[in-house]
Amino acid sequence: MAGSNSQFETKVIHAGETSDAATGAVMPPIVTSTTFEWEALGQPREHIYTRSSNPTRDALERCVAELESGVRALAYASGQAASAGILDLLDAGSHVIAPLDFYGGTRRLFDQVRRRVGALDFTWVDMTDPAAVAAAIRPKTKLVWIETPTNPLLKVTDIAAIVAIARQHKVLTCVDNTFATPCLQRPLELGADIVMHSATKYFGGHSDVLGGINVVADAELGRQLHLLRSASGGVLGPFDSYLVLRGIKTLALRMERHCSNALAIAQHLEKHPRVARVYYPGLPAHPQHALAKRQMGSFGGIVCFEIRGDAAAVGGFLNRLQVFTVAESLGAVESLAGQPATMSHSSVPTDERRKMGIAENLIRLSVGIEGLQDLLADLDQALLTP
């Protein structure tokens, strides 16, 4: 068992006591059964129906709850389903403060779905400025949604400062912790109410499973989220729960390499003549570098940069890459590259995207765990460095 004082590297292996007590199997069985026999009428066992709970999903949830220092985790079919589950907590007419720059799919869910059918209202705020968050709070504000570092511009938000403001107004805070993972940052320890993850990224870690997870510090909030998830049904299946749990075993080891490779790449790009600007919280030039150093154990595996030139320069660079794969998503063992304007953030209308600060010449790298020299050489040849 991993005690609460264990090192994170130990916790990722042992958290949640996921081995099977009945057989001694070190990894939990994948329980595919959708339904569970009752002892007698009126006497269900621990599990009743897999939409409500399932032993394999429970094992994953116990593990992630412990990694995030929460009391309960709930796993969903995708990161988007997890985010939708949080919005389901809110009554019609509620107001949500969300970041100006964050994952385009979350923004689409908020702006194009929940504003319409859920009758929620949203204000986009630059969360690097806590005073701007305070100024945006209204009587109907019920939730502040934080994403830090943000996707794609890697802005860093002071979680404790925003939590302090939200608490004064009895407003919930949720942190999308996908980019940092609990390996680098644990928002519940800083007072946040909910941590949300796209488990598709670093948790799964191998680009082979889609999933989402919410973690809470309060049992009653966990009960409400569980009820809403059971009612709407967007749960993570047992096979996928197993894959995410398996991925987590190597999370600490992978993050170490993601972070060291990304820092070296950011430093290399910063000096590159074809690069106009680099975004990486680990660089002293990053506007929130001091905050990132304080709040995060390390700076993560995502590096963004603006290439000098127009759309043709972006296309030329991406098409020349050989080790990096041009694809959506992030957080897996292989290095990926993409253009947020036409990929991860294509669902955000062009003028809104520009307001977010996402230029057409912005390139996002999800730095994998390959050998650093191969990655640097690939970037150099694609940037046409002689």
Which residue, chain included where needed, has tokens 């000098």?
Answer: 308
Kindly state the smallest distance separating residue 131's Cβ from ligand P1T, in Å: 25
Residue of the chain from 178, 261, 288, 295 that contacts ligand P1T (CB under 6 A): 178
Cα dihedral 259, 72, 240, 242 in deg (nearest 10) = 80
Q: Which of 76, 103, 202, 279 is catalytic?
A: 103
How far is the CA of 138 from the CAs of 89, 141, 168, 330, in angstroms?
18, 5, 12, 35
- Which pair of structure tokens corresponds to residue 164? 């302090």
In angstroms, the CA 190 to CA 173 distance is 11
Partners of residue 362 on adjacent β-strands: 306
Kindly state the smallest distance separating residue 178's Cβ from ligand P1T, in Å: 4
**Residue type for position 37:** E
Sign, Cα dihedral of 265, 267, 273, 276: positive
Q: Which of 114, 155, 201, 364 is catalytic?
A: 201
Contact string 205-224 vs ligand P1T (x = CB under 6 A): -----x-x------------
| Phi, psi (degrees; rounded to nearest 5) at 124 | -90, 125
Known active-site residue 103:
yes
Q: Which of 20, 51, 121, 257 is catalytic?
A: 51
Q: Rule CB under 6 A: which of 91-110 touch ligand P1T? A: 103, 105-106
Nearer to ligand P1T by C-beta: 250 or 329?
A: 329
Q: DSSP alpha helices (H): ranges in the chain?
A: 8-14, 55-67, 79-87, 104-108, 115-117, 130-136, 159-168, 181-184, 219-232, 238-248, 251-270, 289-295, 311-320, 350-356, 372-382
Q: Does residue number 79 form part of the binding site for ligand P1T (CB under 6 A)?
A: yes
Contact string 300-329 vs ligand P1T (x = CB under 6 A): ----------------------------xx
Kindly state the smallest distance separating residue 102's Cβ from ligand P1T, in Å: 7
Residue of the chain from 216, 245, 330, 359 that contacts ligand P1T (CB under 6 A): 330
Nearer to ligand P1T by C-beta: 210 or 369?
A: 210
User: Euclidean distance between the first and final Cα of the chain, in Å?
Assistant: 53
Nearer to ligand P1T by C-beta: 2 or 343?
A: 343
Residue of the chain from 68, 147, 158, 378 that contacts ligand P1T (CB under 6 A): 147
Footprint on this chain of ligand P1T (rule: CB under 6 A): 78-80, 103, 105-106, 147, 151, 176, 178, 198, 200, 210, 212, 328-330, 344
